[in-house]
Copies of this chain bind each other. A is one copy, B any other.
Amino acid sequence: MSLPLPALLVSPLQVSLDLAGISVFALSGALVAVRKKLDVVGVLVLALVTGLGGGMLRDLLIGAVPPATLQDWRYLLVPMLAGLVVFRFHPRIARIEPYINVSDALGLGLFCVTGSAKAMQYGLGPVPSALMGVLTGIGGGILRDLLAGRTPIVLRQEVYALPALAGALVVVVPWELGLYRPWVAIAAAGVCIALRLLAIRFRWEMPHAGSLRG
């Protein structure tokens, strides 16, 4: 990547994609908050945390502070608007939840790619960078579930981290080999999205170790 960091951060396409991913994640966070009977503050906080939490954790860990999402008010406004929309229209939003799950796969694909690429830009090696890509994708949902008082769904049921890992690997391996190009990013997001959609479609589940007592 020969682009200086600031140029990358302000690319209008990148910002638009980021905001799209954040808003879909925020919708899922707000829906969980409504289901858990939280009040309007809870809905807004879960929308913010689900939309921004993964990227913030990544930025804290790679040393990109203040996190990008605290340097641009749009990154805060979009998830709060998503939260207010869910708070007001939740029965209608709940009816389109299958579509939200599909859009969520797009957000996951985007986040695992931008997350691992940003970690590589900040000088981390390929293995930690892949982990940062996964964290960007699943961190918000983990914080959402902790705040909502349930065991994080990504740790016990859903095939969600694996597609993110696959996408992140498609970023970091070519990057390490000096072969990273824009189309690689698109391919990486595509791999993640396809795996996630297949997992939803065919109700894949990750294996369990079974009971220790059994």
Contact = CB atoms under 8 A, between A and B. Distances in A.
Interface of A: 31, 33-43, 45-46, 48, 56, 60-63, 65-67, 70-73, 76-77, 86-88, 90-91, 94, 122-128, 131-132, 142, 146-152, 154-157, 160-162, 205-209, 211-212
A39 B157 contact: yes
A127 B76 contact: yes
A30 to B, nearest CB: 9
7 contacts: A35-B212, A38-B151, A41-B155, A62-B66, A63-B66, A70-B131, A73-B128
A208 B35 CA distance: 10
A132 B162 CA distance: 33
A91 B34 contact: no
Given A208-B40, A209-B34, A147 B152 contact: yes
Nearest to A93: B212
Contact of A70 (B34, B124, B146): B124
Q: Summarize A's interface: helix, strand, loop or mixed.
A: helix
Number of copies of this protein chain within its complex: 3
Contacts of A212: 31, 34-35, 90-91, 94
Contacts of A31: 212
A160 B42 CA distance: 11
B122 A66 contact: yes
A94 to B, nearest CB: 5
B46 A56 contact: no
A63 B61 contact: no
B155 A207 contact: no
Nearest to A146: B146
A155 B61 contact: no
A35 to B, nearest CB: 5
Contact of A90 (B41, B73, B160, B209): B209
